[in-house]
Amino acid sequence: MKKSELGLIEWIRSQAGGGAGPGVLTGIGDDMAVLAVGSEQVLITCDMLLDGVHFDSSQASLAQIGYKVLAVSLSDCAAMAALPLAAVVSVALPDGLTMADAEELMAGIGRAARRYACPVVGGDTTSWDKPLAIDVALLGRTDGVEPVRRSGAKVGDAILVTGALGGSLAGGHLDFAPRIAEARLLAQMAPLHALIDLSDGLSTDLHHICTESDVSALLDAEAIPISSAARQRPDPLAAALNDGEDFELLLCTAAADAQKLLSVWPTQSDVPLSLVGQVLEGDPRQRLFLRRGGQTLQSLSPAGYEHFRREGPGSSRK
Amino acid sequence: MKKSELGLIEWIRSQAGGGAGPGVLTGIGDDMAVLAVGSEQVLITCDMLLDGVHFDSSQASLAQIGYKVLAVSLSDCAAMAALPLAAVVSVALPDGLTMADAEELMAGIGRAARRYACPVVGGDTTSWDKPLAIDVALLGRTDGVEPVRRSGAKVGDAILVTGALGGSLAGGHLDFAPRIAEARLLAQMAPLHALIDLSDGLSTDLHHICTESDVSALLDAEAIPISSAARQRPDPLAAALNDGEDFELLLCTAAADAQKLLSVWPTQSDVPLSLVGQVLEGDPRQRLFLRRGGQTLQSLSPAGYEHFRREGPGSSRK
């Protein structure tokens, strides 16, 4: 699930229990909802991607767009430490697209589906005289690993991230690897208190964890792993803090468990794991702090990603 | 799930097992996919509704549109004799809509959600400078009733429908009642061999059952219940046969069970139940026959619904 626009998701959440129900273990507000089915748990998320907002069909191929739309939801699945169960895909196809175009789009979806063992079990397609719109709803299963929410971070926890951050809009946002295997491995190696995928950007997504867990957090500027793409930017640290769509993992775990993870991890995975900060006592007025040079402390705001930026009058994002 | 456009759903179905997987009991091609989760079954469907195609925002209120978008998926749930478990909703909001507009839309979704006990547990909203697009993915649960597919119709079965058919585009398509309770009751009273909801129109949806079950079917023209709205039309029978979006149930069951259902049903429900035809041996060249005046037999084609009709060059539907 993505960040709310117009506060609508918050509004839904505030209505009549925010989608509470007898089988609803976790409703709106996490990366996936968690539902009880008999003695099992099933997770669900949805993401709608729109041409000109989340991708630009004049820049990206239909195969890339198809891959991305499923991978975004697969990353939500990683953010709960869940495994994919199945997905359904709805597509609004512009009238100008041919059957071959549509097949290229579906082949991109199929590439992500096969790579992450997520069968596409249903769909709905319509053509219209408007731009391409695609929605994926993805189901997850727990298979022995309890889902990790955003809400369990504890004071004193270490904050870790996978990969290197920033600059994904240079291209990485079209061909990233959802960290499903990494999330499962981490959750099996140590109790994770909170987990989220970096879709909105480190500062914004850490702010989500802080709000849901009612804690604050301190990031060490020098410890944040900065991608080579972000290093090309005028302010690489700002790119690593605020660019969206890295789709890496951000997690909180007890300090001792973090040390254990950091020492063993390189033998388990090629994906880097970095200690970037620690969880502080919650202060609703200030959730995020940044330490530079090991000393100077400054407050940090969630300055997340606003999707693909559109220019021109009448098209600014709310 | 709706009828495929451009044959895309058929293409997906033909690819690499059509979304087959270890937990996939029924993949693409029925009203909902059926998935195994431990010893339980979970069902899923998705429907994307677009302004100018499935509704006209200049004619329908946002509350009506919201109600319809969830009700369409709830009708798919009825078509499997399943109960709703939860739904997620993605919305692409035109830039011009206000927060109050968005709340009215969500309130319409909420009305359907409460009426049919289907919590909305997640969502994704984005604003863009294009028309309203909404996608619902709905999960179903079996709760002791085995899902009824389209594929089990047997030669000699009776064909029944609920309600009265045709003319829904006069307004009924915005405020219909998904037949969830009726489907559950019918499935508990007799073994149903095949079940579908009338979204594309009687002739088209019966053709779906015939294709999936490899049978043919005979309809009795005089037995088809025609709605009062359809009676206002130049050809009421054609309206009842071919208009879409009645969202009534179409079912096949053994002839003896049909007689039992028909005799007991009026004590169970206010929704009419009518015997409209019988299942014949399958002939791939001709799936549908219509009997008039008890004698004359004519072949019938699936002449289903093409959604809301758009006029003007460049906007015709494929």
pLDDT single digits (tens) A94-103: 999 998 999 9
Q: Is the pLDDT of residue A304 over 80?
A: no
Q: Which residues of B touch A139 (CB under 8 A)?
A: 35, 42, 44, 139
Provide the CA A302 distance to its chain's centre, in angstroms. 15
Same domain, B205 and B93: no
Give the phi and the psi of residue B316 in degrees, each rounded to 5: -70, 150
CA distance B50 to B62: 13
pLDDT level of residue B215 (50, 70, 90 thresholds): very high
Mean per-residue pLDDT of chain B: 89
**Structure letter (DSSP) for residue A148:** P
- Closest-CA residue of B relative to A34 is B121
* Same-domain check for residues A101 and A205: no
Q: Which of B20, B48, B114 sits opposite A135 (nearest CB)?
A: B48
Contact criterion met (CB below 8 Å) for B58 and B105: no
Chains A, B: CB pairs < 8 Å: 269
**Under 8 Å between Cβ of B109 and B61:** no
CA-based nearest distance A42→chain B, Å:
8
Q: Which residue of A44, A110, A129 is in closest CB contact with B15?
A: A110
Checking if the pLDDT of A4 tops 70, the result is: no
Residues 6+ apart with CB under 8 A from A177: A71, A247
Residue A318 confidence (pLDDT) above 90: no
Which range among A235-239, A278-282, B186-190 shows the weakest confidence by mean pLDDT? A235-239
Query: In A, which residues are within 8 Å of B93 by CB distance?
Result: 5-6, 8
What pLDDT is attached to residue A254? Answer: 98
- What is chain A's mean pLDDT, rounded? 89
* Residues A284, A164 share a domain: yes
Out of B4, B27, B137, closest to residue A125 by CB: B4
A231 to chain B, minimum CA–CA distance in Å?
Answer: 30
According to DSSP, the residues that pair with A289 across neighbouring strands are: A218, A299
pLDDT tens, residue by residue, A92-138 = 999 999 989 999 999 999 999 999 999 999 989 999 999 999 999 99
Looking at the DSSP bridge assignments, the partners of residue B215 are B281
The answer to whether residues A191 and A129 belong to one domain is no
Domain closes at, from A79, A114, A141: A141
Q: Which of B116, B141, B166 is a domain's end point?
A: B141
**How many residues comprise chain B?**
318
CATH number for the domain that contains residue B61: 3.30.1330.10
Output A238 or A19, whichever has higher pLDDT: A238
Host domain of residue A74: 8-141
Judged by CB atoms closer than 8 Å, whether chains meet at A139 and B16 is answered as no
Whether the CB-CB separation of B74 and B180 falls below 8 Å is answered with yes
ipTM reported for the complex, 2 dp: 0.90
In a domain, A78, yes or no: yes
pLDDT at A317 over 80: no
CB contact under 8 A, A125 and B92: no
Mutate to test the interface with B, among A4, A49, A62, A126 (most CBs of B within 10 A): A126
| Co-location of A162 and A295 in the same domain | yes
Reference B101, options B65, B150, B155; nearest CA is B65
Identify whether B147 is part of a domain. Answer: no
- Tell me the pLDDT band of A280, cut-offs 50, 70 and 90: very high
Distance from C-alpha of B279 to C-alpha of B259, rounded to nearest angstrom? 15
With cut-offs at 50, 70 and 90, classify the pLDDT of residue A308: very low
- Dump pLDDT digits (tens) for A194-237: 999 999 999 999 999 999 999 999 999 999 999 999 999 999 99
* A281: in domain: yes
CA distance A125 to B49: 10
- What domain count does chain A have? 2
Contact B46 A129 (CB under 8 A): no
DSSP character for A72? Answer: H
CB neighbours (10 Å) of residue B165? 28
Name A259's Cβ contacts closer than 8 Å, sequence gap at least 6. A158
Q: Say if residue B173's pLDDT is above 80.
A: no
Mark whether A236 and A190 lie in a shared domain.
Answer: yes
Tokens of A223: 């410890």
pTM of the model: 0.91
- Residue B167 sits in the same domain as residue B292: yes
Residue A6 has pLDDT above 60, yes or no: no
Say if A29 falls within a structural domain: yes
Tokens 């709106």: give the residue.
Answer: A28
Same domain for B93 and B168, yes or no, is no
Are B99 and A8 inside 8 Å of each other by CB? yes
3-class SS letters over chain B: CCCCCCCHHHHHHHCCCCCCCCCEEECECECCEEEEECCEEEEEEEEEEEECCCECCCCCCHHHHHHHHHHHHHHHHHCCCCEEEEEEEEEEEECCCCHHHHHHHHHHHHHHHHHCCCCEEEEEEEEECCCCEEEEEEEEECCCCCCCCCCCCCCCCEEEEECCECCHHHCHHHCCCCCHHHHHHHHHHCCEEEEEECCCCHHHHHHHHHHHHCEEEEEEHHHCCECHHHHCCCCHHHHHHHCCCCCCEEEEECHHHHHHHHHHHHHCCCCCEEEEEEEEECCCCCCEEEEECCCEEEEECCCCCCCCCCCCCCCCCC
Assign B17 a pLDDT band (cuts: 50, 70, 90): low
> Which chain B residues touch A14 with a CB distance below 8 Å?
none
Q: Note the pLDDT tens digit of each residue in B82-139.
A: 999 999 999 999 999 998 999 999 999 999 999 999 999 998 999 999 999 999 999 9
Is residue A131 within 8 A of residue B16, CB to CB? The reply is no
| Closest CA of chain B from A173, distance in Å | 18
More confident residue, B311 or A169: A169
- Residue of B41, B124, B143, B310 for testing the chain A interface, max A β-carbons within 10 Å: B124
Q: How far apart are CA A173 and CA A198, in angstroms?
A: 11
Residue recorded with tokens 């991109």 = A108
Beta-carbon contacts of residue B75 (< 8 Å; ≥ 6 apart): B176, B178, B179, B197, B199, B247
Same-domain check for residues B57 and B186: no
Nearest to A86 by CA among A49, A54, A55, A123: A123
**C-beta neighbour count of B181 within 10 angstroms:** 15
Residue A308 lies in a domain: no
Q: Which of B5, B114, B137 sits opposite A126 (nearest CB)?
A: B5
Query: Nearest CB to A48: which of B12, B92, B95?
Result: B92
Whether residues A44 and B121 touch (CB distance < 8 A) is answered with yes
Shortest Cα distance from A40 to chain B (angstroms)? 7
